[in-house]
Amino acid sequence: MFKRLRYDINAIKKRDPAARNSFEVFMLYSGLHAIIWYRISHWFYRHKLFYMARWFSQSGRFWTGIEIHPGAEIGKGLFIDHGSGVVIGETTIIGDDCTIYQGVTLGGTGKDKGKRHPTLGNRVMVGSGAKILGPFKVGDGARIAANAVVLEEIPPNATAVGAPARIVKIDGMRVCPEMDQVHIPDPVSQELCKLSIKLEKLQAELKELKERKPE
């Protein structure tokens, strides 16, 4: 337990330039406090003491503003920066050395039982306000931009932006639009857009005809 805590503190010091020393991180960082509350609640959850697990997790939410379900599985070195408004669902799995900023939701879709929350690989960065919804994997080293809405699997070392999120980089190289087999234009949406333009044009012509005075 203490080795894991020491690792978590060192991970924060490496990734946060504002962290001056271990004592300050331990005493003042709400993200670390949320992880400590989570570790306790998860222990009770694994031993099927569900009431106590939820009591500790809700206490952690009250004191830190970060909600982590005790059933989630979190690796070492998670850095929750600022942290307010972060929500991590029951079947979420988070690998080692990940970074999550404020307002992030790792949530599920629907009310199905079983695995319904995302799996984050190692060294994943999730920007502030991003939403990752569903039981798919975000690959090792992936980066999710602020306010992105991720609804499908993200490959390793990819950068995803937008709502819904689209992949713009893999291994630091921009994705060629012609080679993107997933985020292709929606033909129905394109046709509706064309019809809308034609309708506006016809309405303008009709208005012009009505305004003409008879000779």
Domain boundaries, the chain: 2-178
φ and ψ at residue 190, rounded to 5 degrees: -65, -45
Q: Tens place of pLDDT for every residue, the chain, 215 residues?
A: 778 889 999 999 999 888 889 999 999 999 999 999 999 999 999 999 999 999 999 999 999 999 999 999 999 999 999 888 999 999 999 999 999 999 999 998 776 778 899 999 999 999 999 999 999 999 999 999 999 999 999 999 999 998 888 888 888 777 755 545 555 555 666 677 678 778 888 888 888 787 776 65
Residue 138, phi then psi, degrees to nearest 5: -105, 115
The CATH number, out of the four listed (3.40.1350.10, 3.40.50.720, 3.40.50.1010, 2.160.10.10), of the domain defined by the range 2-178: 2.160.10.10
Surface-to-core class of residue 86, CB atoms within 10 Å of its CB (0-12 exposed, 13-18 middle, 19+ buried): buried
Distance CA 56, CA 43 (A): 10
Q: Give pTM, 2 decimals.
A: 0.76
Question: What is the token pair recorded at 165?
Answer: 């999120």
Kindly report the number of other CB atoms within 10 A of residue 193's CB atom: 11
- Residue 165 near residue 146 (C-beta atoms within 8 A): no
